[in-house]
Amino acid sequence: MNKIKVSIGNDHAGTSLKKSIIDHLKNEIDFINHGTDETDSVDYPDFVHPVAIDIEKGVSTFGILICGSANGVCMTANKHQGIRAGLAWNSEVAALIKQHNNANVICIPARFLTENEALHVLKTYMNEEFEGGRHQNRIDKIPC
């Protein structure tokens, strides 16, 4: 089985969840870990930009970003022209960010989801497809 390559990044609030995601999905995914492995306070942009660059350069299929609320990592990732990062706090939103927005980065709020919820959200995102059609028009209008 060919594994997909995914870039993952996190700050101190997401370390535990990142380790759990990697452990649960290591047989399906080759992870490029750009996140901290510690719980000491760090600045999330330092871990977001390398993930976004991997996606823009085609090194990874998609990116996963994790912080406490996922707002900061999402805002930072979306500063990159080639990134469409979506904040997914439940599986319905995870499905829609892929189906309607063709998100290439999923942002997960570590302080608001249990490990099982986060894994379900991520797997939902991974199993969805972009619907294209009317949504492609909107996607084309996103970059400045």
Could you state, in order of their start, the residue ranges of all structural domains in the chain? Answer: 4-140
> Does position 1 have pLDDT exceeding 80, yes or no?
no
The dihedral through the CA atoms of 89, 105, 41, 37 has a sign that is: positive
Q: Is residue 119 very low, low, confident or very high in pLDDT (cuts 50, 70, 90)? A: very high
Buried b (16+ CB within 10 A) or exposed e, 21-55: bbebbeeebebbbbbbeeeeebebbebbbbbbbbb
- The mean pLDDT value of the chain amounts to 97
What topology does CATH give the domain 4-140?
Ribose 5-phosphate Isomerase B; Chain: A, (3.40.1400)
What tokens appear for 140 in the block? 């084309």
The dihedral through the CA atoms of 37, 43, 44, 46 has a sign that is: negative
How far the first Cα of the chain sits from its last, in Å, is 39
Q: Report if pTM > 0.85.
A: yes
Mean pLDDT of 61-69: 98
pLDDT of residue 143: 85
Residues with catalytic annotation? 67, 100
> Does position 74 have pLDDT exceeding 90, yes or no?
yes
pLDDT of residue 144: 83
pLDDT of residue 2: 83
